[in-house]
Structure 1
Amino acid sequence: MNEINYKNIVGEKIRALRKGAGLSQEVLAQRCGIFRTYLSRIESGAANPSLVVLVTLANALDVEPHALLMLEAGSK
């Protein structure tokens, strides 16, 4: 059975949304009140962000929080 790595999925989505918005890690981290190194770890799938951090990131990226958890077609 294939396990889904949600930390990687969330990290990849955050990175893509951040880049699409033209934001650096530093700027997004400042908007969210977190360290840039922590954001880097989230984006790489190394950190497991709390629900509060996920909602804060989603708000800063102007998306609904559930959008960070959604699988792309064919990702299973």
Structure 2
Amino acid sequence: MVAKIESKTKANVNLINARLAKKLTQSKLAKKVGMSQGAIAHLERGINKAPEYPNALKIANALEKSVEFLFFNSK
């Protein structure tokens, strides 16, 4: 069973839960999309709200979610 995170902003929760659902570590996702693990961690923690669009699209494609769902969904 995959744990769900609920205590952060919705966009960050969506990103974390989508990554966990794919059974990816931050490092594996970062490698898959050509970013650093630290950059993924900053996105998940809310230090950076959203990456540049090309990177947001790479992350969304890797997680099979939309950019809007991962980074701009406030519901």
TM-score normalized by the length of structure 1: 0.75
Offset at residue 10 of structure 1 (A): 2.5
The residue type paired with residue 41 of structure 1 is: H
Aligned residues: 65
Correspondent of 2:74 among 43, 68, 71:
71
The residue type paired with residue 67 of structure 1 is: F
TM-score normalized by the length of structure 2: 0.76
Offset at residue 30 of structure 1 (A): 0.4
Offset at residue 11 of structure 1 (A): 2.2
Structure 1 unaligned spans of 5+ = 1-7
Structure 2 unaligned spans of 5+ = 1-8
Percent of pairs with identical residues: 22
Aligned to 1:43: 44
Aligned-residue Cα RMSD (Å) equals 1.3
